[in-house]
Amino acid sequence: MSEVKNILLCGVGGQGTILASKILSTALVAAGYDVKMSEIHGMSQRGGSVVTQVRYGETVYSPIIGQGSADIVVSFESMEGLRYLDSLKKDGSVVVNDYQMPTATTLSGQEAYPADSIERLHKLAKTYVLDAAKIASELGNSKSMNVVLLGALIKRMGLESLDWNAALTACMKPQFVELNKKALAAGMAVVS
């Protein structure tokens, strides 16, 4: 438990990036890890970029992941994965949602949306792609795609043994827990 692990989750406001990070942090704390989480909201209320950083280990001194230090980047939206790729360490990996959600900067014309973002990610890093929106919709609620992505992250980081049911129960309204247990399991099942 001594090595500090660094996880960066990025998406667009409204995708549930912060909730996924809170569920992750809750389970890690319950498992006995020292956990630090930071949130960067940007223009999240207007479709801007949202980033959370979760660091865990025996002792964690800072909540901030240094550039080139993330073990994994989880991108809730394909362009955001490219935007934060410089945070990834050389042997790190990316879990990316095959989903496009225009941001305030692309809608205003300040920035072009790269149609080939997933292909570019594959060229630059070990990348795992999943269609979390489709998986969540098949489960009955597309809003649970954040928890599908969390499931993929859990599997990639080898954290399946933590008490995820307790973390979901602690962080969600009771009426959403069962659906999100299925979403978490579906996300874990997608990653080999």
Closest CA to 156 of 129, 177, 136, 138: 129
Residue, of 107 and 177, whose pLDDT is higher: 177
Contact call for residues 72 and 89 (beta carbons, < 8 A): no
* Residue positions counted in the chain: 192
Answer yes or no: is pLDDT of 172 > 70. Answer: yes
Contact call for residues 145 and 136 (beta carbons, < 8 A): yes
pLDDT tens figures, 41-55: 655 455 678 899 999
* Tally of CB atoms within 10 A around 138: 13
Q: How far apart are CA 54 and CA 31, in angstroms?
A: 15
The pTM of this model reads: 0.93
Answer yes or no: is pLDDT of 1 > 50. Answer: no
Structure tokens at 168: 């979901």
Specify the pairing of strand 49-57 against strand 5-12. Answer: antiparallel
| Integer angstrom CA distances of residue 41 from 38, 71, 94, 106 | 10, 21, 21, 17
Q: How far apart are CA 11 and CA 30, in angstroms?
A: 26
pLDDT tens figures, 84-130: 999 999 999 999 999 988 777 788 888 888 889 999 999 999 999 99
CA 153 to the chain's CA centroid:
7
Q: State what percent of residues in the chain have pLDDT above 90.
A: 81
Helix (H, G, I), strand (E, B) or coil at 138: helix
- HSE of 9, CA atoms in CB hemisphere, 13 A: 29
Q: State what percent of residues in the chain have pLDDT above 70.
A: 95
Specify the pairing of strand 88-97 against strand 49-57. Answer: unpaired
* Tally of CB atoms within 10 A around 83: 18
Answer yes or no: is pLDDT of 8 > 60. Answer: yes
Q: How far apart are CA 145 and CA 131, in angstroms?
A: 9
